[in-house]
Structure 1
């Protein structure tokens, strides 16, 4: 099985990949590590490295070619590709996008030990630099490959890491990847390239209006008791609108309230 993992900066990709390596025996191929090493050798920041890559394709080409080659030559191995664009270059994979709120991402990267080239003096500075990096990378991918990196329809699983533990996220990724692989093999869809979206799983705490735990929940007791038996997500898909990294509930507020009260980690959503 090949799994490609990408996502927002600070979403915890490396941590989750390490869990998949340790617990499930996957080998990790990380292009982010390669990029940071190149930046370190050149004594520049990761943002400066991204800006340099806008004008010099040799770094992107080197990383992309290696990713495609490794995937072709190791079809019989379990590999995790921790890479911004591996979902595009790996021919057959379960494509995962890790989402995270900008505030939480900024807290994570500020507190992480990523060397002198990625140190931030404040949360505000981290947010500003993360937003700038995301904008730079998005522009580069559109210019070079005509790809919309943040288009969720590129992925089989979009999962929110804002509030959930990495261990739970890794477990859900494996469950969904196995179901996806079985379905694809049954349909022969890998060969046809039909690898459309599967699920978008968002924490109830990222949905607006925030589910308020109040006396109203007395009317939802039956639903809450039912949801309390779930460990991953409810089955009902909730329609939402998306504005930046905020999700507004369009319908199904009672289900969201009950899921939040039952401490269900995720809500399946469809973005309208």
Structure 2
């Protein structure tokens, strides 16, 4: 099985990937790892490779081609591609978009920045503004380079909310969905959206448990406005899901 994972900045992609590697035996191919592989083949340093990439878009396409080749050459391995755009180039993968509430993402990256990360932020509000600006810029860049809309959920098999669950639970839900897709060869089905009741404004004191499954059995309908989701139909199901300790509700737009 091959999984391609992308998502909002601050959604916990790398953390989730590390859990999938340690718990489920996946080998991770990050963009950085692919860049190092290409640099080695060319006999240049990673620093020189990064400099060339900043000046010539052909190197983006080299990374894309290398990513696709790794997948083609290892059809029977459990591979996990931690990459913004691997889903667009790997021929057959379970495509995952990790979604996160912008305020929660800002809290996470601001906390990281306080420990000396590369990005620096004056406040959580500043972090939120910078994250949104970067996301908007990346979307424009990807559309110009590849003609794709990064935030179109129909690109992905699964859109998984990572806002309020521990990363271990997010990883467990992700692998459950991936295995179900693989079992019935559902790679052509896209846009499955799993959202936390808390993300939809419903909070209870009930502890989230996976004992009875992680998705409430009744679906709901939502509308999206950026990172915000509002329930249009099925608010009673969201309340019941929260009260009964379900991690997610299944939603359609």
Q: State the TM-score, normalizing by the size of structure 2.
A: 0.85
Residue 28 to residue 212, structure 1, CA distance change in 2 (3 Å):
closer
CA distance in 1, matches of 2:31, 2:108: 20
Deviation, 1:243, is 1.0
CA distance in 1, matches of 2:160, 2:225: 17
CA distance in 1, matches of 2:176, 2:191: 12
Contact 1:228 1:262 in 2 (8 A): no
Correspondence for 2:227: 245
Deviation, 1:229, is 5.9
2:202 maps to 1:211 = yes
Correspondence for 1:159: 160
**1 or 2, which has the higher helix percentage?**
1
1:69-88 equivalences in 2 (<5 Å): 69-88=69-88
Alignment: residue pair count: 240
CA distance in 1, matches of 2:26, 2:140: 31
Segments of 5+ residues of structure 2 without an aligned counterpart are 40-45
* Corresponding residue to 1:255 among 213, 233, 237: 237
Contact 2:153 2:191 in 1 (8 A): no
2:173 maps to 1:182 = no
Deviation, 1:59, is 3.6
Correspondence for 1:199: 192
Q: Name the SS for the 1:234 alignment partner.
A: strand
Q: State the TM-score, normalizing by the size of structure 1.
A: 0.80
Segments of 5+ residues of structure 1 without an aligned counterpart are 215-223
Contact 1:138 1:148 in 2 (8 A): yes
Correspondence for 1:64: 64
Contact 1:240 1:247 in 2 (8 A): yes
CA displacement 1:187-237 (0-9 Å, x = unmatched): xx7xxxx62216210011111xx33669xxxxxxxxx9xx99634011211
CA distance in 1, matches of 2:204, 2:177: 30
CA distance in 2, matches of 1:77, 1:198: 25
Contact 2:26 2:78 in 1 (8 A): yes
Residue 211 to residue 80, structure 1, CA distance change in 2 (3 Å):
same
Contact 1:32 1:82 in 2 (8 A): no
